[in-house]
A and B are shown apart, each in its own frame.
Chain A
Amino acid sequence: MSKSLSLNPDQLAAFGAELDALRNRHLAELGEADARYIRRVRASVRITELAGRLMLFAGFFPPTWCLGVLLLAFSKIVDNMELGHNVMHGQYDFMNDPEFSGKHFEWDHSCTSDAWRRTHNYQHHTYTNVLGKDHDIGYGTVRIFAEQRWRPFYLLQPLWALLQAVFFEYAIAVFDLKLDRYLRGRAKLSELKVKAPPVLRKLWRKFIKDYVFFPLIAGPHWLAVLAGNAVANLLRNLWTFTVIFCGHFTEDAEVFPLSVLKDETRGGWYVRQLRGSSNLSGSRWLHFLTGNLSHQIEHHLFPDIPARRYASMAVEVREICQRYGQHYNTGSFAGQFFTVLVRLFRHAFPSRPAMQPV
């Protein structure tokens, strides 16, 4: 059941207008500070990657090996989240800098950035939490809402989720191929022949880089480098999985039937983004390491505004939500993730929606 008031068309329009005004205020301010910020973020990614890889070259000496792994994991996490994810949204397109162009950015991740732009930027952000349209609902492997149709496959979903967490980058990489459709004969294999090569190429490239090239040039310490890279990738996968599952699958997150899209207004779109997303409260470091996806609500309302601004936008968004009687879904990282786990276990078994969604 929704914790938010339902709004009439006039209220929806006014709600949308207030958020548009907030957005335009920040758009007008974009400039030097944002450019300097994202360049520093990029510098932190590059320098920690270099430092991490160099330390792993020193072999299994525990202090350097552990620090090397942590630095490399940090680099990959920041590259994927605060840098890659945000730049690919076009948040820094205003700079006109080819290295921060949303259309051309490439990241340290097995998922091709083109596939990401399609599944994430377009499908997920436009049709957020609309059943049948937003494939990010459960990522095709888990059932976290009663509104999703139950299948016996989901009985083991805590295990599926764990596997997905460990291999998260690969799960995301092949996500766009929607392999289950071929297994069930719902799509032609010829289509796969067109879509698969770029995905395989990127997977292969990433694999060669971390598991062949760098171990090879490490010479006698090849195993330390190989293991270090594997652990760094694992840490990145677990972290990004946890953050991303908290974005739309918490207790109060709502899903919507396909019918909401019919004649949906700008205000309606804003409300859907708000009710489908959930925030994490915490320190500045939490916000940084989650690529500001801890401000998932603001990110979904304003996906193309630089994420460094979400913290200050959140204050106003909260205030606007309060005035319109809209629930602002936020909580601690642990608290929100716990509610995700509850959903994961509860909806492994058949369940029915409490009431028809709004």
Chain B
Amino acid sequence: MPLIPAALVNLALPLTRPLAAFLREDVFDYYGRLLHPQLQLRRVFARLKARRLEGEATVVLTLSPSRNWRGFRAGQHVAVTLEKDGVRHTRRYSPMRAANGRIEIAIKRLKEGLVSSLLHEEADSIGYLEIGQAEGDFVLPDTLPPRLLFLAAGSGITPILAMLRELKARGYQGELNLLYYGRQRNQMAYLDELRAYPGLHLHVCLTGEQAQAGEQAGRFSAAQLDALVPKAEGSAVFACGSHGFTEAVQAVWQQRGWQGLACESFTPPTWHLEDDKPVTLTFARARRQLAGRTGGTLLEQAEAHGLKPASGCRMGICNTCTCQKREGAVRDLRTGEISTKPDETIRLCITAPVGNVVLDL
């Protein structure tokens, strides 16, 4: 039970900001959290306010972030962090506006998804969740175009629904089309809200079961697009789904030479065990992409391309080359273990890529 009320904490948070210049953040945060979980200098903790099911496989959490959170633009994503067995795990979800300054995140349950399972099963025992600041440029433009086309597959609906809610709030009067793909009807989240959305031309496309009246069957294709949205050309388009889905969409737009497509995909990292396979190494902060290969250490490969990440012992003991891996599959060369977790700490000198890797360097 927090020792001071949340309202007071959130009143006080902006006042603590000048302290950052004098205090060690971790010291302030340690004492702060003894008083209230949200009393942190910079970090954002969100109170879990409600939890409900959308469809059969998606849980929707309503969160109330502390005032340290700087808000978001519809379509962006935030890091959500949970602890399990002493290890913190981070996944990214798209926040959506909800009533009273709260936000919603929708979590689809994945078969072997550690965080999604936790959020499904143990959400009741969670009082506060750590969330990051919103990131990403998959957002609506400031001046809205006359026609908007949304393409969503599976949980790719969440940033799109965030945009739809924003459009409603901004009183958008133009033409709105949404092609929403899912395997099975009862697993698709937010169908009721979408059906009730005024002025939205919703096309529900089922890829894993028989379509009923008012529904479409089959995966995204050029022919299906032409049949459902004859005036697709010239629309501003937002597509979100698995990597395969956005690739298929991109292919059609490229082939026809159409403009105005923005894509975002979420894909579990793929990996192969053989050495010397070509992979792409992305150094996010340096904004560099390098051609790498599996098997060799990340440190050696970065250096071979002229990058100079901090390093020391080159044998995994000194902790100088430690950095965050944002995504991708890597192997720890000492134990042989492969890890595909997003946002984890690795050491470049003893880690080899086994697939495409994005590093926070």
Mark A residues whose CB is within 8 Å of B.
Answer: 20, 23-24, 27-28, 30-36, 42, 46, 50, 88-90, 93-97, 99, 101-103, 106, 117-118, 121-122, 125-126, 266, 269, 303-304
Contacts of A42 in B (CB 8 A): 30
Chain B interface residue count, Cβ-Cβ cutoff 8 angstroms: 29
Contact status B320-A122, CB under 8 Å = yes
Q: How many angstroms from the CA of A103 to the CA of B348 in the assembled complex?
A: 13
Contact status B319-A96, CB under 8 Å = no
Given the known interface contacts A95-B86, A106-B24, the answer about A126 and B29 at a Cβ–Cβ threshold of 8 Å is no
B128 to chain A, nearest CB (A): 15
Instruction: Identify 24 residue pairs between A and B in the complex whose beta-carbon atoms are under 8 Å apart, listed by A's number.
Output: A24-B334, A31-B85, A32-B85, A34-B86, A35-B83, A35-B86, A50-B31, A94-B86, A95-B88, A96-B87, A96-B88, A96-B90, A99-B26, A99-B30, A102-B322, A117-B318, A118-B320, A121-B312, A121-B320, A122-B313, A126-B313, A126-B318, A266-B315, A304-B317
Contact status A96-B313, CB under 8 Å = no
Q: Which A-B residue pairs are the 8 nearest by beta carbons? A: A35-B86, A122-B312, A90-B319, A126-B313, A32-B86, A122-B318, A96-B88, A121-B318
Contact status B319-A304, CB under 8 Å = yes
Contacts of B87 in A (CB 8 A): 31, 35, 94-96
Contact status B313-A28, CB under 8 Å = no
Known: A33-B86, A36-B86; 11 extra A-B contacts, CB below 8 A, are A23-B334, A28-B335, A30-B86, A46-B30, A89-B319, A93-B322, A94-B345, A95-B88, A101-B345, A122-B318, A126-B318
Closest to A36 in B: B86
B264 to chain A, nearest CB (A): 24
Contact status A88-B319, CB under 8 Å = yes
Contact status A126-B88, CB under 8 Å = no
Given the known interface contacts A24-B334, A32-B85, the answer about A125 and B24 at a Cβ–Cβ threshold of 8 Å is no
Contact status B316-A304, CB under 8 Å = yes
In the complex, B27 has a CB within 8 A of chain A: yes
B122 to chain A, nearest CB (A): 15
- Among B88, B313, B323, B345, point to the contact of A125 (Cβ < 8 A): B313
A350 to chain B, nearest CB (A): 34
A128 to chain B, nearest CB (A): 10
In the complex, B91 has a CB within 8 A of chain A: no
Q: Within B267-308, which residues are at the interface with A (CB < 8 Å)?
A: none
In the complex, B344 has a CB within 8 A of chain A: yes
- Among B31, B320, B323, point to the contact of A117 (Cβ < 8 A): B320
Contact status B313-A103, CB under 8 Å = no
Q: Per-position contact with A for B85-129: 1 when CB-CB < 8 Å, else 0? A: 111111000000000000000000000000000000000000000
B22 to chain A, nearest CB (A): 9
In the complex, B327 has a CB within 8 A of chain A: no
A272 to chain B, nearest CB (A): 13
- Among B24, B88, B320, point to the contact of A97 (Cβ < 8 A): B88
Q: How many angstroms from the CA of A20 to the CA of B26 in the assembled complex?
A: 34
Q: How many angstroms from the CA of A99 to the CA of B40 in the assembled complex?
A: 12
Contacts of B334 in A (CB 8 A): 20, 23-24, 27
A125 to chain B, nearest CB (A): 6
Best-surrounded residue of B83, B89, B343 (most CB of chain A within 10 A)? B83
